[in-house]
Chain A
């Protein structure tokens, strides 16, 4: 009986390790929310995902109590027309880096429940197809294109 218990505890410990391992294969960096004009109905969040593991994973949902609804989107420009495409999931291949950035992939944040301005931050919970999930703090920032400094 004791031996079985030990065995069971051992298995559980191993599984915990595996879960921890599964959790750690995706790294989230540089999360931020683009500050929107006052009263704007929608905002966008951006971050960089890196898959350090050997298996593909997929970002399947983002949750945050500060918004009514959150979707994973891609801005696509085809034949000169910009379209927003809602994605069910965003795949991250093994060893790949997927960058969400203005003009490309973004997290669409519908109807903020509190006024968000630069200097504030929100907590985004990212959920992956592998079952792993993590919470990142995304500061609200005013977007600068920086192009004005070129000349």
Chain B
């Protein structure tokens, strides 16, 4: 009998603890100003999330850092040139976004960040990207700097196991949209659709 009472009390106390912890967490969440709103395959960050400092280089071996993103809207995709399917597919979509939304003259840039710096360098990117569009920017750098950027965006990459002298790189399929104040403003989950990406940008541009 005593043990049953003890059991009931213990259960009640445990339940109370759970309620208190949940209440605390819920309160914290509600106080948190950041929100993510999803509309038509686009997740908008409210407020936009500022990017930290990072140092990469582009296909012309010029430094590629935060300043290169200032004052422009940038679509960013992470991939690698030894990727035969999803990367060229996404770059073709970006080319179509460029056709609809515009490029440099409209203050919009398209950036392919290689997360395979062991095989991709400035020269590799310089040969690869103009095929898709002469304005496309290729960037890469050391894993430390790449991680700094990917982590800030909530992006992910990881090299797979070596097989027969080659390896794959697993990477986020999303396209990230950085605003002119160098903040992550939105991200688009795949499968990508050029018209939807362009519309998403227009919507955000109009509202900023």
Q: Is A17 an interface residue (CB 8 A)?
A: no
Whether A81 contacts B88 by the Cβ 8 Å rule is no
Nearest CB on A from B199, distance (A): 9
In the bound assembly, the distance between CA atoms of A80 and B189 in angstroms comes to 7
- Count of A interface residues, CB-CB < 8 Å: 34
**Shortest CB distance A58–B (Å):** 20
Where chain B touches its partner, the secondary structure class is: mixed
Binary contact readout A77-91 vs B (1 if CB under 8 angstroms, 0 otherwise): 100111110100000
In the bound complex, do residue A43 and residue B194 qualify as a contact, i.e. CB atoms below 8 Å apart?
no
Contact A102 B173 (CB under 8 A): no
Q: Is the CB of B84 within 8 A of A77?
A: no
Query: Scoring B residues 118 to 133 as 1 if CB is less than 8 Å from chain A, else 0, what string do you get?
Result: 0100001001111110
Q: Are A82 and B173 in contact (CB under 8 A)?
A: yes
Count residues of B near A (Cβ-Cβ below 8 Å): 39
* Cβ contact within 8 Å between A44 and B81: no
Chain B window 148-167, contacts with chain A (Cβ cutoff 8 Å), 1 for yes, 0 for no: 00000000100010011010
The reply to whether the CB of B181 lies closer than 8 angstroms to some CB of chain A is no
Q: Is A69 a contact partner of B127 (Cβ separation < 8 A)?
A: no
Known A-B contacts A147-B193, A150-B195; A38 and B164 likewise in contact (beta carbons under 8 Å): no
Residues of B within 8 A of A82 (CB): 86, 170-173, 190
Given A38-B131, A40-B81: A102 in contact with B89 (beta carbons within 8 A):
yes
Residues of A within 8 A of B (CB): 34, 36-44, 69, 73, 75, 77, 80-84, 86, 102-103, 106, 108-110, 143-148, 150-151
Q: List 17 A-B contacts (CB under 8 A).
A: A37-B128, A37-B132, A42-B83, A80-B173, A82-B86, A82-B171, A83-B168, A84-B85, A84-B170, A102-B85, A108-B84, A147-B93, A147-B96, A148-B96, A148-B100, A150-B194, A151-B198
